[in-house]
Structure 1
Amino acid sequence: MAVPQDKQELLDAINATYEKLLSVIRRVPMPRVNECSLEGHAKGTQMSVANLVAYLVGWNELVLKWLDADAAGTVIDFPETGFKWNQLGQLAQKFYRDYQGIPFEQLLERLDSAKQRIVSSIQSRENAELYECPWYEHWTMGRMIQFNTASPYDNARGRLRKWLKAEGPSSQPA
């Protein structure tokens, strides 16, 4: 998918990649969602499908935190307080811990809710605010949102498809 250049393309990218991700998540057998057999976000680690969804929830809720801070006129601590951009593997581990113990269906509901709130926030903004001025260093708000929603959705979809293919017929629902 091409990099979105305006508000409508951003909304289309988020919605399309999210729907494609959900179609792959639905193919994961429920008994396997907590099995740590996917390559993790930090080098040399393993994660479960539930961890992967927790990671997406974490990033979506972080984007919402950024947008709320921006609306309040407060300084945004990118990417997250206590983390630098070269520590994203550790941030992923934090997300796994933050959502540990939440039932898988509730994680999916939380992801859907966060995604819908992001979409609503985008819809309430003008294209100029999203794409015509830098927001973080030289990146626009729209690009930062895309980096942390549509791109991770697409990456997660690819990881899950690869995992499902490698796991063979036993991983396919009847």
Structure 2
Amino acid sequence: MRAYDGKHELTGEIRKRAELFINEFSEVTDTEKDRIVDGVDRTPAQMIAYQLGWMRLLLGWEREESEGHKVVTPHPEYRWNALGGLYQHFYDEYADCGIAELTAQFRETVDEMISMTDSYSDTELFTAGGRAWAASTPANWPVWKWIHINTVAPFTSFRTKIRKWKKLNAATPQSTDF
């Protein structure tokens, strides 16, 4: 996993990878957003919903902890060993959104993630135990790792997925309803 010299390097990488990822959706239409293509495990709408879901979980964990609540990770209704249900929850939550709305929500949520990251001291961000929610699993990661694996890493890997989806979608004849 990549390391960062400071929070500004981390936030810069979040912004860069987020823009590269979300800009790939400019050519995806609302009629295509839920299309499954062989060779790609998610639809374009699911790809964005996944990103929104995880970022909003982290923001929620931070909000709950700052309000003095005990944070249940990953989600009160889902456990780490059964994340498929959590992913479906993300997909269902954003199912009625068009690409423009998903894109706008993605950009807003990235801004919130960057603001949250900027609000941490270096100790809170880069030292294990900086937040109780970050120490809630046996890994006891520092907060920056949680942020990285839920922003930079998936933005990068899912950019590859959407590019593959676009290539395969363009090569697949679309059915027409008469």
Residue 59 of structure 1 aligns with which residue? 54
Backbone CA RMSD of aligned residues: 2.2
Deviation at 1:7, TM superposition (A): 1.3
The alignment status of 1:82 with 2:77, answered yes or no, reads yes
Work out whether residues 60 and 111 of structure 1, in 8 Å CA contact, stay in contact via their aligned partners in 2: no
| 2:49–2:90 Cα contact (<8 Å) kept | yes
Distance in 1 (CA, whole Å) between partners of 2:82 and 2:160 is 22
Q: Is the 8 A contact 1:55 1:95 kept in 2?
A: yes
Q: Flag the structure with higher strand content.
A: 1
CA distance in 2, matches of 1:62, 1:21: 19
Q: Say if 1:130 and 1:141, in contact at 8 Å, map to a contact too.
A: yes
CA distance in 2, matches of 1:37, 1:24: 16
Does the alignment pair 1:158 with 2:153?
A: no
Is 1:121 paired with 2:116?
A: yes
Task: Specify whether residues 16 and 123 from structure 1 end up closer, same or farther in structure 2 by C-alpha distance, changes over 3 A only.
Answer: same
Counterpart in the other structure of 1:32: 32
**Structure 1 vs Structure 2: percent identity of aligned residues?**
25
Q: Which runs of 5+ in 2 are unaligned?
A: 174-178
In the alignment, is the contact (CA less than 8 A) between 1:20 and 1:157 conserved in 2? yes
Q: 2:2 — aligned with what? A: 2
SS at match of 2:55: helix
Kindly report structure 1 stretches of 4+ aligned residues shifted beyond 4 Å.
none
Structure 2 residue 162 is the aligned partner of structure 1 residue 167: no
Question: For residues 4-61 of structure 1, what are the alpha-carbon distances to aligned partners after superposition, in whole Å with 9 as ceiling and x for unaligned?
Answer: 3531222122111101102222233453122133733xxxxxx421121111111111
- Name the amino acid aligned to 2:122: N
Contact 2:74 2:80 in 1 (8 A): yes
Cα deviation digits, residues 63-99 of structure 1 (max 9, x gap): 1101112222322111111212222222111110111
- The one-letter amino acid of 1:34's match is D
Are 2:7 and 2:117, in contact at CA under 8 Å, matched by a contact in 1? yes
Length, aligned pairs only: 165
Are 2:29 and 2:99, in contact at CA under 8 Å, matched by a contact in 1?
A: no
Specify the code of the residue in structure 2 equivalent to 1:117. E
Instruction: Determine if the alignment matches structure 1 residue 94 to structure 2 residue 96.
Output: no
Q: 1:3 to 1:168 in 2, by over 3 A?
A: farther
Greater shift, 66-75 or 116-125, is seen at: 66-75
Query: Between Structure 1 and Structure 2, whose CA radius of gyration is higher?
Result: 2
Q: Establish whether residue 12 from structure 1 lines up as the match of residue 12 from structure 2.
A: yes
